[in-house]
Each structure stands twice: as structure tokens, then as C-alpha cells.
Structure 1
């Protein structure tokens, strides 16, 4: 009888010790997990490089011209598909401008780009329109406007895609690279849509 009690007592001690040990391990795991998911301020600041900053600055300017072009469509076009596309472009790119502006503020950087001085006058490789091209577009209406607008927006989108592809190679911030991929996917689809509309016209 005494031997049975001793065995039971040993088993109980082992069980309590095992539970305590398991609890301790879990606590340690939770602590480590919490620490890993909350990077320090220094780590957050390090999670970007110079290209992340210039990409956001340049793409804000690029998107802004696309918004200017989209806002020209109502009143100049009667094509329902062009009107719808312009509305979608505005609806997508305006929030992206706000997002990139917030990143730059968090990173302590200006939202104005100095790396692309030619952008206001048109710049090779970016798809930006010159002031003269924008003025000419503003003078057109109807089918003539639709054709020039889609041709210009196609070129503009192609420039944005090239900028985004370069950023995927050179950027380091995960959020900005994710946005770059989203820009590539969305704007390539819109290019295909505009090319189909141009063929129909």
C-alpha cells in the first residue's frame, strides 16, 4: 500500500513539473513572437532605402498628371467606356498618392521630387506629357479627344510600369514594393483595355 502511494506521489510531481515546464515554454514562445512582430523604431527607419523615397516622390508626380488627364474627360468625351475608365483611374490613383505622401511624411522626406527635373516638361522613359501635349489635348472634344487621350494615357501608363519594375529591383520597403506590383498589374490591364478601344475606333 505504501509503495502504491509513493508511486502515485512521484507521478503527480512529474505531472505538475511537466505542466509548469510546458507553461514556461509557451510563455517564452509568446514573448519571443511578440518581440519579433514589433520592430524597434530603428528597424522601422531602416526598412527603406533611397530608392523607396525617390519612387514615392516620382510616382506622386506621375499619378498627379494622370489625375489631371482623367479630370479632363467629363465634358470632352461622350464615350461611356472612356468616361468609366477615367473615373476608375482617378479612383485608384488618388488614394495611392495619399498613401505615398503618408510614407514620405513617416520617413521624414519631402513629397516633392528633385530627381526628375524634366518631368514637368515631359521626360523620356517616364511617359509624362509635355505642357504642349496637355494643352493640345484640352482643345479637343469627342472622338478626336478620346483617341488622343487614350494614346497619351497608354504612354503614361507604360512609363509608370517601367518605374514600378525598376523599383521592384532596387527598393527595399515591402509596402512600397507591393504597391509597385499593384501598379504594374492594374495599369497593364488598363493599357490592354485602351488598346482594344483604339482598335474599335
Structure 2
């Protein structure tokens, strides 16, 4: 009986050891496969990481950083209309520009902040904006500020057409090169709305 008990104990121990070895081998195999699988998952997840962090690229940043001072200047021009414009149509146009572009500036600034980019405070001179598509020079802005009546109406619309054309060109570049969905949607909206306003101003000027 002692022998049998001893035999059974040894047999049980061997079976347990064998089972443990199988389990360890399986775990080792799974660990290896799991490790490789983890690396594979990490590798496949890595390219999507930037997308989950904003899905924006350099073209989006350029578009947003350019459009903010562009919009601010358009609003500055529009603020002159109530006290200087003669035409009710020009006053209405200026009000529409302010209504559309002011909220867009807030949205654009929010994107920059979320991307960790610097947002220039309003009123801070942005020298990078000089020479940007459609931007008025300081001399042109002074000329507009000094005008009134019909002369203001004509100068305002001629300058704003040029300004809008610049914005549309920037928006088309964003559509072609950007990757941030919301920025591309705004670029689409800018192209549509400002193209319509260009046509509206050309009609008021008798050019179409």
C-alpha cells in the first residue's frame, strides 16, 4: 500500500508537471504570438494616431493662420460702412460680411489652439499677412477710411472683390491640399459664399 501510494503520488506529480509544461509552452506560444500580435496591432495603430489627434496637416495650419488675419481685415473694412457708405446695398453687404466672418474667426482660432499652434491676438500686427492673396496694404486701408459716400461705396466694393478673390484662392488650396475635414468644409463654404458676394458686388458696380 505504501508503495502504491508512493507510486500514485509520483505519477500524479509527473502528470501535474507534464500539464504545467504544456500550459507553460502554450502560454509561451501565446505570449510569443501575443507579443507579435501586440506589435502588429501597435504598428497598424501607429499611422492612425495623428489622425485621432486632430487629422490636420501643414496645409490646414497654413490655411487657418492665413484666414484669421484675412477675415479680420475684411471685418475692419466692413465696420467702416455704416458711417461712410451711401448705398443701402453696400451697408447690407458689409453687415453680411461681419455676420459670416466673425464666427468663423472664433472657429479658426479654436482649431489653432487645439492643435497647439499660436493664436495671434486681435490687433497684433501679423507681418506674415503682408502680400497674402487679396490683403489690402496700409495705404489702401487709409484711402478707404478717408472716403465717404459714393466714393466709399465704389472703393469698398472694388477692394472687397479683390479681398474675396484672395480668400477663395486660399480656400481652393485648402480643399486640394488640406486634410482636416472641418477646415475643408469651411473652405467649401467660403468659396460658395464669397463667390456669390463677388458676383453681387460686380452687379452693383455695373460690371456684370
> What is the TM-score normalised by the length of structure 1?
0.73
2:205 aligns with one of 170, 179, 198: 198
Per-residue CA deviations over 1:29-50 (Å, capped at 9, x if unaligned) read: xxxxxxxxxxx97533251101
Does the CA contact (< 8 Å) of 2:54 and 2:115 recur in 1?
no
In the aligned structure 1, how far is the partner of 2:71 from the partner of 2:118? 16
Q: Does 1:56 align with 2:64?
A: yes
In the aligned structure 2, how far is the partner of 1:105 from the partner of 1:118? 19
Aligned residue number for residue 86 of structure 1: 94
In the aligned structure 1, how far is the partner of 2:152 from the partner of 2:89? 13
1:69-84 correspondence to structure 2 within 5 Å = 69-84=77-92
In the aligned structure 2, how far is the partner of 1:77 from the partner of 1:46? 43
In the aligned structure 1, how far is the partner of 2:201 from the partner of 2:174? 25
Query: Over aligned residue pairs, what C-alpha RMSD do you find?
Result: 1.9
In the aligned structure 2, how far is the partner of 1:76 from the partner of 1:117? 28
In the aligned structure 2, how far is the partner of 1:56 from the partner of 1:198? 31
Displacement over 3 Å in runs of 4+: 40-43
Per-residue CA deviations over 1:157-190 (Å, capped at 9, x if unaligned) read: 0000000001111100000000000000000000
5+ residue gaps, structure 1, are: 1-39
Aligned residue number for residue 101 of structure 1: 109
1:3-152 correspondence to structure 2 within 5 Å = 42-112=50-120, 117-120=127-130, 123=131, 126-152=133-159
Aligned residue number for residue 155 of structure 1: 162
Say which one has the larger Rg: 2
> What is the TM-score normalised by the length of structure 2?
0.71
Inter-CA distance 174–117: structure 2 relative to 1 (3 Å threshold)? same
5+ residue gaps, structure 2, are: 1-47
How many residue pairs match? The answer is 156
Inter-CA distance 102–118: structure 2 relative to 1 (3 Å threshold)? closer
